[in-house]
Amino acid sequence: MLRRSALGALCFALGPLGCAADSVPPDRDIEPECGNGVLESGEQCDLASEGCRDCGVVPGWRCTSASCARVCGDGVVGAGESCDGARRDSDCDLTGYWAVRETDYTRDTVLNGLQISSTWQLYRFEQTGDSFAVTEQMECGIHVTGSVTVDGSAGTLRTLLTRNRMDAKSKHGARRGTSTAVTNGCQVTFDRWYKARGVSEDAFLPADFATKPALTDLPPLPSVPDSVTAKTFPKEAEDWDGDGIPGVAYRITGFANGVRNTVQRDWREFATFPSAPVPARALALTIPGTFDLQESVLKATECGGLCSLIVTPANPARDVVARMSLSFIGKTLDGVRTRGIVARTPRESLEDDLATCARVRQMLPHDTSAPTPLPKGS
């Protein structure tokens, strides 16, 4: 399709007979070109700004044709209409809604390549004193890049929204942590939390998370002798995503392509280093952490003759630091900032939850930056 500027130049070159009345198609017929600095039909913004990503306005920001600025209000303060110097209105109190991305690393056993994994969450914290608890939470998807790319199926995304709850309705109680004021910022911790996918939490997770057992000390995950040819599966494996195969389905693309159904469990915990607290009142926080993961692949499909390349389980990379990135949304559900991200009270509407999760992922896109090596002696 010719862009309008190119078509106008063509008409000029052809002269008065080339284009009747120098007619130029209206904007709606122009294919937008994201990144050219011109706001066009179908674009929310087209600026080199933290608040404009892929020509869409990042939740928590407002953009004009010339600039983007953070939205103030609902727990965020700043100077002037553009909210200069935007920051939370409390030093270390984390009360409110947060978009969260947990980043961890695995290595594939075929190429020994580093795989970068993003798992997104929506959290609402309530803090009293130095301690906080999760009062609302949703898991908002997973994306992995490296030697292969991994994404959960639509069924996996939908079912994970309703599983592994971390609020007071979890049988393990709410996930908890601390955020404590220190001389140069805030020390933040998140207690260890275990999750399972494709298997019963009762059977395959510890009864008491506070005891912090190793995954290897828990009952073994269900497995099959050969996940390429398997036609029957252990009764302990559950078809969470409703595709007719036990486990949860992930689509693999890269040096090999296909779908693998897997059962998994993991734990994650996070804590700032004493020498590196997070800034007080910051809208974005990064907390280092550790994690462990076990996976059992039950079935590989749609992989042709390369199925053997996608059935090896993921192995945690133990030489680098995992991290949790948090981006503040707002204190209350009816606040001006929060309404632009959280479509509705979580767990009241699946479609609204999916819309909320899409905005959470937009706030904190997949991060492929180099990981931090694990400090010596850790």
DSSP H or E run through 361: helix 350-363
What is the average per-residue pLDDT within 11-40? 59
What pLDDT, on a 0 to 100 scale, did the predictor assign at position 290?
A: 95
pLDDT (0 to 100) of residue 147: 85
Which pLDDT does position 377 carry in this prediction?
58
Whether 30 shows a pLDDT value over 80: the answer reads no
Q: What is the pLDDT of residue 65?
A: 85
Q: What angle do CA 355, 357, 360 make, to 5 degrees?
A: 120
- 291-329 confidence digits (pLDDT tens): 999 999 999 999 988 888 888 888 899 889 999 999 999
Q: In this predicted model, what pLDDT tens digit does every residue of 187-229 receive, in sequence order?
A: 999 999 999 999 999 999 999 999 999 999 999 999 999 999 9
Residue 92: is its pLDDT beyond 70? Answer: yes
pLDDT(159) > 70? yes
pLDDT in the model for residue 13:
42
φ and ψ at 41, to 5 degrees? Answer: -55, 130
Q: What is the mean pLDDT of residues 74-92?
A: 90
What share of the chain has pLDDT > 70, as a percent?
90
Mean pLDDT calculated for residue range 44-61: 86
Residue 182 confidence (pLDDT): 97
Whether the CB-CB separation of 68 and 55 falls below 8 Å is answered with: no
Q: What is the DSSP string of 264-308?
A: EEEEEEEE--TT-PBPTT-SEEEEEEEEEEEEEEEEEES-GGGGG
* Average confidence score pLDDT of the chain: 89
Bridge-based pairing state of the strands 322-330 and 96-107: antiparallel
> pTM for this one?
0.84
Parse the chain into domains and list their residue ranges: 4-70, 96-363
Q: What is the pLDDT of residue 306?
A: 87
At 155, is the secondary structure helix, strand, or coil?
helix
Residue 191 backbone phi and psi in degrees, to 5: -60, 155
Residue 22 scores a pLDDT above 50: no
Two structure tokens written together for 86? 């935007």
Cα 311 to Cα 229: distance, rounded to the nearest angstrom = 11
What is the SS3 assignment for 244?
A: coil
pLDDT digits (tens, 9 = 90+) for 334-363: 888 898 899 989 999 999 999 999 999 999
* Cβ atoms of residues 301 and 258 within 8 Å: yes
DSSP 373: B
Rounded to an integer, the average pLDDT of 73-83 is 87
User: Model confidence over 95-153: pLDDT tens digits?
Assistant: 999 999 999 999 877 667 789 999 999 999 999 999 999 999 999 999 999 988 999 99
Which pair of structure tokens corresponds to residue 144?
Answer: 């992995």
Residue 175: per-residue pLDDT: 97
Tell me what pLDDT residue 89 has. 94
What is the structure's pLDDT at 164?
94
